[in-house]
Amino acid sequence: MSSPPSTTSSSSPAVAAPTITELLDFVRRTARDEALIASLPLDPEGRTWIRLDGPGGSEAWLIGWPPGTGTGWHDHADSIGAFTTAAGALKEHSLAVRLPTDGWKTLELTDGVDRSRELAAGQGRAFGQNHVHEVLNESEDVHAVSVHAYYPPLPRIRRFSRTGAVLRLEQTESPEDWQ
pLDDT at residue 104 in the model: 84
Sheet containing 59-65, strands listed edge to edge, beginning at the edge strand earlier in sequence: 48-53, 59-65, 144-151, 80-87, 124-127
For residue 97, the model assigns a pLDDT of 85
The CATH number of domain 20-99+114-154 is 2.60.120.10? yes
The arithmetic mean of pLDDT across residues 5-16, rounded, is 53
- Domain spans of the chain, in order of start: 20-99+114-154
Dihedral pair phi/psi, residue 13, rounded to 5°: -70, 150
What's the pLDDT score for residue 179?
Answer: 64
pLDDT of residue 13: 60
Q: What is the mean pLDDT of residues 125-141?
A: 95
pLDDT range class, residue 8, cuts 50, 70, 90? very low
pLDDT of res. 100: 76
Q: Distance (Å, rounded) from C-alpha 173 to C-alpha 159?
A: 8
pTM beyond 0.85: yes
How confident is the model over 133-138, as a mean pLDDT? Answer: 98
In this prediction, residue 3 has a pLDDT band, given cuts at 50, 70 and 90, of very low
Res 4 pLDDT > 50 = no
Between 147 and 10, name the one with better pLDDT: 147
At residue 171, does pLDDT exceed 90? yes
Q: How high is the pLDDT of residue 103?
A: 80
Rounded to 5 degrees, what are φ and ψ at 26? -60, -50
